[in-house]
Amino acid sequence: MIFFSKKTYKLSKKEISKILELKDQSWSYGNLSQEKFFKRNIKKKDLHNLLFKSKKKDILLGYTCFRLRKFLRFKKYFNYMLLDTIIVKKEFRKKNIGKKMMFFNNSLIKKKSCPSILFCKSKNINFFKLHKWKKILNSAYTVQNADKNKKYACMVFNFQIPNAKIKQQI
């Protein structure tokens, strides 16, 4: 297995195709919808961690997307990395690949010296807690443009700003 970390503008069309194909395994919106989301929401300098089975880059086993964004606290903006997507190819799940990916992701976050935030369903909280992510209180953040019917937990890693009010725009 081999990891690659690339910014969006350095991804090849073939790599983007493999990412969209992998995402389509877990989210039933269809490949065209995945492509539209990618074009609309992923910026040129966002980071993509790709885990391939070998150096040939023929089989994408896992993928993580970090969207580089800003949050507002006391009328001042701070940079952070939004962990947008983490996914493992279906037939390779339950083989500690997610654990390896989170180790790689956390190392990248520390290297960048930037806090990271994610929003997840309650069923995924324990997975991230195992990897040193911390859940924050719902009262500590507001999410703009979010579906009010969907409830997500907010978790942070490498977050050193006490009592931060996170205002994430989705």
DSSP string, 33-84: HHHHHHHHH--TT-EEEEEESSTT---EEEEEEEEEEEEEETTEEEEEEEEE
Residues 25, 60: Cα–Cα separation, whole Å: 12
C-alpha pair distances (Å), 166 with each of 30, 50, 147:
31, 28, 17
Pairing status of strand 60-73 against strand 47-52: antiparallel
Q: Which residue has the tokens 């023929």?
A: 58
C-alpha pair distances (Å), 61 with each of 46, 66, 124, 128, 161:
20, 17, 19, 19, 34
Instruction: Determine how many CB atoms are found less than 10 A away from the CB of residue 19.
Output: 22
Side chain identity, residue 2 = I
**Do 170 and 143 touch, CB atoms closer than 8 A?**
yes
Up-side HSE of residue 57: CA atoms within 13 Å toward CB? 15
* Partner residues linked to 73 by β-bridges: 76
Global pTM value = 0.83
Q: Which two tokens stand for residue 60?
A: 């994408």
Query: Could you read off the pLDDT tens digit of each residue along the chain, which spans 170 residues?
Result: 889 899 999 999 999 999 998 988 877 777 788 888 889 989 999 999 999 988 888 889 999 999 998 877 777 888 889 998 999 998 998 899 999 999 999 999 999 988 898 988 889 999 999 999 998 876 555 555 445 556 778 889 987 655 555 555 44
